[in-house]
């Protein structure tokens, strides 16, 4: 096990790249709830949970909820790098929000510029290195690195929610949530995931299902969230937190639903709450049955990736997530 010093800096410049469904929405809210830690430069969207146009609308609805009209939204890639994939897995319904239908309509529009071009311009113009939080398929970032690999030195850190390292050696006898081997984000574009985690030039931290499957939003946690968040939006947030229950419970016998994406932000703010190991990994692309699976690699040309292997205190992490969301809603 490797211990890392806190990576928290005042006003860390962040780009949040996601396929904005339920837990991408709460990730954006968490980041906005900590303006003392995170400076959210923009939100970029990618196909995944739902078509990219719906992801973009959800990102705009999220920012409209907290009147964050100063945060620009850029629509990104509508298809994976190479292989076709059906959009979504019906985890969050047609709109990607899992029944949380009281978020406001967008109060402003997305930018005309596409996400990858904006990312490239932002990196090129920046006098400081930028951190990416990626909570969807890695298509946008992989496309950026293919087009402009020389900009990698402007990236400080990429924190990725994705992957499953031990697909059959878990409490539930499976780890993948889209197949028994693969996590959804990596399955949707395995070539993009493999390219990014194999790219040298910046720090990479991976938050896989091996860790997030220890964040069950149980009934007790749902009650804590309802009590901590302002009404009536509290009920909508709980819907976001538990939207995948109809898929998670039959597959994993959990009590509520697993929560994934928001812990990327918590990791940057409170790395002391997570156990991390370093390893080289690759993402399976050449086996249709195991596409998207993460496996250890002995290829020393690949970078060492920080892999979050365990949550030190899931209750504290959950309460930290809710606290950040509450601050965003109350500002």
Question: Which tokens in the block code for residue 69?
Answer: 């009209």
Segment 239-269, tens digit of pLDDT: 999 987 777 677 777 888 899 999 999 999 9
Q: Is 260 among the catalytic positions?
A: yes
Is 12-330 a CATH 3.90.245.10 domain?
yes
E strand or H helix at 271: none
| Cα 237 → chain centroid | 17
Three-state DSSP class for residue 288: helix
Question: Which tokens in the block code for residue 116?
Answer: 């990858």
Is residue 40 within 8 Å of residue 265, measured between CB atoms? Answer: no
- The residue from 16, 20, 157, 260 that is catalytic is 260
Question: Which tokens in the block code for residue 291?
Answer: 């596409």
* Angle (deg, nearest 10), helices 115-125 and 139-147: 60
Identify whether 77 is preceded by a cis peptide bond (ω within 30 of 0): no
Stretches in the chain below the pLDDT threshold 70: 1-10, 85-96, 98-100, 167-174, 248
User: What CA–CA distance (Å, rounded) separates 13 from 132?
Assistant: 9
Cβ density class 141-171: b for 16+ within 10 Å, e for less: bbbbbeeeeebeebbbbbbbbbbbbebeebe
pLDDT of residue 165: 87
Three-state DSSP class for residue 60: helix
pLDDT of residue 181: 86
User: Which of 138, 148, 128, 106 lies closest to 19, judged by CA?
Assistant: 138
pLDDT of residue 244: 76
pLDDT of residue 251: 76
């Amino acid at each position: 096990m490797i211990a890392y010093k806190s990576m928290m800096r005042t006003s860390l410049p962040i780009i949040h790249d996601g396929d904005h469904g339920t837990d991408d929405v709460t990730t954006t809210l968490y980041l906005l709830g900590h303006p003392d830690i995170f400076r959210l430069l923009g939100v970029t969207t990618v196909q995944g949970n739902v078509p990219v146009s719906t992801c973009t609308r959800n990102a705009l609805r999220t920012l409209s909820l907290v009147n964050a009209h100063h945060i620009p939204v850029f629509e990104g890639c509508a298809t994976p790098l190479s292989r076709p994939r059906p959009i979504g897995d019906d985890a969050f319904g047609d709109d990607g929000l899992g029944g949380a239908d009281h978020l406001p309509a967008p109060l402003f529009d997305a930018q005309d510029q596409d996400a990858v071009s904006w990312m490239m311009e932002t990196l090129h113009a920046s006098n400081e290195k930028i951190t990416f939080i990626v909570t969807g398929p890695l298509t946008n970032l992989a496309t950026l690195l293919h087009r402009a690999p020389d900009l990698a030195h402007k990236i400080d850190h990429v924190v990725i929610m994705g992957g499953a390292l031990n697909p059959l050696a878990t409490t539930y006898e499976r780890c993948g949530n889209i197949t028994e081997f693969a996590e959804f984000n990596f399955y949707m574009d395995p070539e993009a995931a493999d390219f990014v985690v194999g790219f040298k030039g910046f720090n990479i931290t991976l938050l896989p299902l091996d860790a997030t499957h220890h964040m069950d939003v149980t009934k007790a946690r749902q009650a804590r969230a309802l009590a901590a968040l302002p009404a009536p939006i509290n009920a909508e947030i709980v819907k976001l937190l538990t939207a995948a229950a109809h898929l998670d419970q039959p597959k994993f016998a959990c009590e509520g639903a697993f929560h994934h994406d928001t812990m990327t932000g918590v990791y940057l703010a409170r790395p002391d709450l997570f156990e991390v190991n370093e390893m080289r990994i690759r993402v399976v692309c050449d086996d249709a049955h195991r596409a998207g699976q993460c496996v250890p690699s002995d290829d020393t040309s690949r970078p060492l990736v920080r892999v979050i292997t365990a949550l030190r205190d899931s209750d504290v992490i959950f309460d930290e997530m809710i606290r950040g969301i509450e601050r965003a809603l109350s500002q």
